[in-house]
Amino acid sequence: MRVLDAGANGAGAVCFSPDGRTLAVGDRAVVVFSLFDDRRLPVRLRTGAVRQLAFHPHRPRLFALAGNDFRVDDIDGSGFRPRFQRLTYADRFALGTDGGAVLSGRFDLERNGSRLRRYADVSNAIDTDWPADPTGDGNLHWGLAWVPGTDRFAVAEWEGEFPEYRTAVTVRAAATGGVVAKTVWGSSACTLAAAPDGTLIAAAKAVLAAWPGGDLARPPRTIANDSRKHFTGIAFHPSGRYLAATSNDATVKLFDTAAWEVTHTFTWAVGRMRSVAFSPDGALAAAGSDTGKVVVWDVDL
């Protein structure tokens, strides 16, 4: 176990490169570490608040949702080289295995909702796959996750009128944006993650909700946080056997996805935990805190 320091800006987002050799950390700035020597790249990308980070699945390229911008930057040993920046007013994105993405736009006052856009090649983002917004329902889109091995993505949506908002989890076809399956289950915005087998997980306040096999027609399995603190981030181990969840109680909990029991609770006293990720081979995990400290540890399952 080792602790990296991303600075006082915090670590609200963490992600590994596809080869597992590099770790990107973001909050008010984006920092990239070489995990072989814990070296930090000399160029530091300063941004607005970073909501999400993701590496391109096949190229040395980093996607960042920061402030009002969706940014695409190439990365090499000398640092960041800007490739694309768009004022999308985006809140979330889901990155597909081909490097395409779905972006959720910020609240639109005239429409009284937010917008989804599918970019076939998000590195250039010349145009989108969808000529029009497929949602058209005035919902607010909070969580997004690509469903591995499929041409579908999941969206956590707020529906209804204030103060009677409720949460819907919807699976949509990437080609059209059309609804494939949908369920309404709660009253709070969600963070979504999709397991390698397609299982969907939603984190809302102090509750995790799991749909085994991604079957939204069935009631979810719900798991409360024993500390009653909110969950802040979730990530599946590549095997699909475990889910890691960060929490405002300053812990990272590892759940067995067969029994949905906590198998490990990690406490490092580095602050409230904000984000978590596994390396693509499952050998490493990283968790970021609100103090900017990032813990990287060997996964021994």
Number of domains in the chain: 1
Tens digit of pLDDT for each residue in 233-264? Answer: 999 999 999 999 999 899 999 999 999 999 99
pLDDT at 111 over 80: no
Q: Name, of 188-192, 227-231, 295-299, the range with top average pLDDT.
A: 295-299
pLDDT at 25 over 90: yes
| Residue 115 belongs to domain spanning | 2-298
pLDDT, mean over the chain? 83
Q: How confident is the model at residue 128 (pLDDT cuts 50, 70, 90)?
A: low
Tens digit of pLDDT for each residue in 159-202? Answer: 777 667 778 888 988 888 888 998 887 767 688 999 988 888 87
CATH of residue 264's domain is: 2.130.10.10
Question: Which pLDDT value is given to residue 299?
Answer: 94
For 154, the 3-state DSSP assignment is strand
Question: Which pLDDT value is given to residue 124?
Answer: 62
The share of the chain scoring above pLDDT 70, in percent, equals 85
Tens digit of pLDDT for each residue in 40-58? Answer: 876 566 667 888 899 988 8
Mean pLDDT of 105-130: 65
- How far from chain centre, in Å, is Cα 125? 20
Q: How confident is the model at residue 123 (pLDDT cuts 50, 70, 90)?
A: low
pTM: 0.91
Q: Which long-range contacts (CB under 8 A, 24 or more apart) does 54-59 make?
A: 54/15, 54/93, 54/95, 55/15, 55/16, 55/17, 55/18, 55/22, 55/24, 56/18, 56/95, 56/99, 56/123, 57/18, 57/95, 57/97, 57/98, 57/99, 58/18, 58/99, 59/99, 59/123
> Between vectors from CA 164 to CA 161 and to CA 170, what angle results, nearest 5°?
80
The share of the chain scoring above pLDDT 90, in percent, equals 31
Expressed in percent and rounded to 5, the helix, strand and coil fractions of the chain are: 0, 55, 45
Residue 217 buriedness (CB in 10 A; 0-12 / 13-18 / 19+) = exposed
Q: What amino acid occupies position 41?
A: L
